[in-house]
Chain A
Amino acid sequence: MLTEISLNVIDIARNSTRAGASLVQISIDLDTRKKTLRLTIADDGSGMSPQQLAKVEDPFFTSRTTRKVGLGIPFLKQEAECTGGTFSIKSEEGKGTVVEALFHRDHIDCMPLGDINSSICMLVTTSENKDVDFVYTYEVDGRSFKLDTREVREILDGVPLSDPKVSEFIRSYLIENQEAVDRGESMEE
Chain B
Amino acid sequence: MKSLAELKAIRESMQGQIGLRSEDDDTTKIVVGMATCGIAAGARPVLNELVKDVNEKGLKNVVVEQTGCIGMCEYEPIVEVFEPGKDKVTYVRMTADKADEVIEKHIIGGKPIADFTLSKVDI
Contact = CB atoms under 8 A, between A and B. Distances in A.
Contacts, number: 106
B102 to A, nearest CB: 16
Given A11-B34, A64-B69, A128-B31, 20 more contacts: A2-B39, A7-B39, A11-B35, A14-B34, A66-B70, A67-B73, A119-B44, A122-B48, A126-B47, A127-B65, A152-B4, A156-B7, A158-B18, A159-B10, A160-B21, A166-B7, A166-B10, A168-B55, A169-B10, A173-B4
27 contacts: A2-B40, A10-B39, A10-B44, A14-B35, A67-B71, A67-B73, A71-B36, A122-B51, A125-B51, A126-B64, A126-B65, A126-B66, A128-B65, A128-B66, A156-B10, A156-B11, A158-B19, A159-B10, A160-B21, A164-B58, A165-B10, A167-B51, A173-B4, A177-B1, A180-B2, A185-B1, A187-B1
Interface of A: 2, 7, 10-11, 14, 18, 64, 66-67, 70-72, 75, 115, 118-119, 122, 125-128, 145, 151-152, 155-160, 162-169, 172-173, 176-177, 180, 185-188
Contact of B67 (A70, A128, A177, A186): A128
A18 B64 CA distance: 18
Interface residues of B, number: 38
**Majority SS of interface residues in chain A?**
helix
A69 B4 CA distance: 41
**Majority SS of interface residues in chain B?**
mixed
Interface of B: 1-2, 4, 6-8, 10-11, 13-14, 18-19, 21, 31-32, 34-37, 39-40, 44, 47-48, 51, 54-55, 58, 63-71, 73
B6 to A, nearest CB: 6
A165 B51 contact: no
A122 B45 CA distance: 10
Contacts of A127: 65-66
Contacts of A187: 1
A118 to B, nearest CB: 6
B2 to A, nearest CB: 5
Nearest to A153: B7
Contacts of A64: 68-69
A164 B39 contact: no
